[in-house]
Amino acid sequence: MNRDRTLVAAQVALLAVILAGGRRGRGRPRPVQAAGAALTLGGLTLLVWSGRTLGRNLTPLPTPVADGTLVQRGPYRFVRHPIYTALLLLAGGWTVARGGRVSVAGTLLLAGLLRHKAGIEDTALAGRHPAHAAYRAHTGAFLPRTGRR
């Protein structure tokens, strides 16, 4: 469990770095700022939708709740980790709108951390839910799968 808490702490720290690393959008063209705002709004919307869909299954830790179910409705029909996708949209949108090398680096590090966390989560879910293997085979981790594989 210590590993899980360390990953969450690192995630929170990276989000703080991303927020602090923005340059307040100085010199950013308005269309770029608007695109960043749109990504941020999309991320916030997806975050709320995903959290509400998970309900009692929601946890910040990569280890699922003990008596949880395998959720495959709502945004989970399209991707296995929509909360992570939402966080990346939020971070990316902020970075696009505000600029700053620190925010860019933080967003890239966050993407790597969330990919690692998703792997841990997928392994744990596969151990608890036999249906996870089929779900994983047809559902992308962060982005919807297109076409046949």
State the pLDDT confidence band at 28, using cuts at 50, 70 and 90.
confident
The reply to whether the predicted model has a pTM over 0.75 is: yes
Structure tokens at 55: 């309900």
Which residues, 6+ apart, have CB-to-CB distance to 118 below 8 Å? 62, 80, 81, 84, 141, 142
Could you tell me which residue, 76 or 148, shows the higher pLDDT? 76
Task: Quickly count: other Cβ atoms within 10 Å of residue 66's Cβ.
Answer: 7
Could you tell me which residue, 79 or 99, shows the higher pLDDT? 79
Whole-angstrom Cα Rg for the chain: 16
State the pLDDT confidence band at 125, using cuts at 50, 70 and 90.
very high
Q: What is the pLDDT of residue 22?
A: 77
Query: Which of 134, 127, 140, 146 lies closest to 76 in space, CA to CA?
Result: 140
Q: Is the pLDDT of residue 25 over 80?
A: no
pLDDT digits (tens, 9 = 90+) for 31-46: 999 999 999 999 999 9
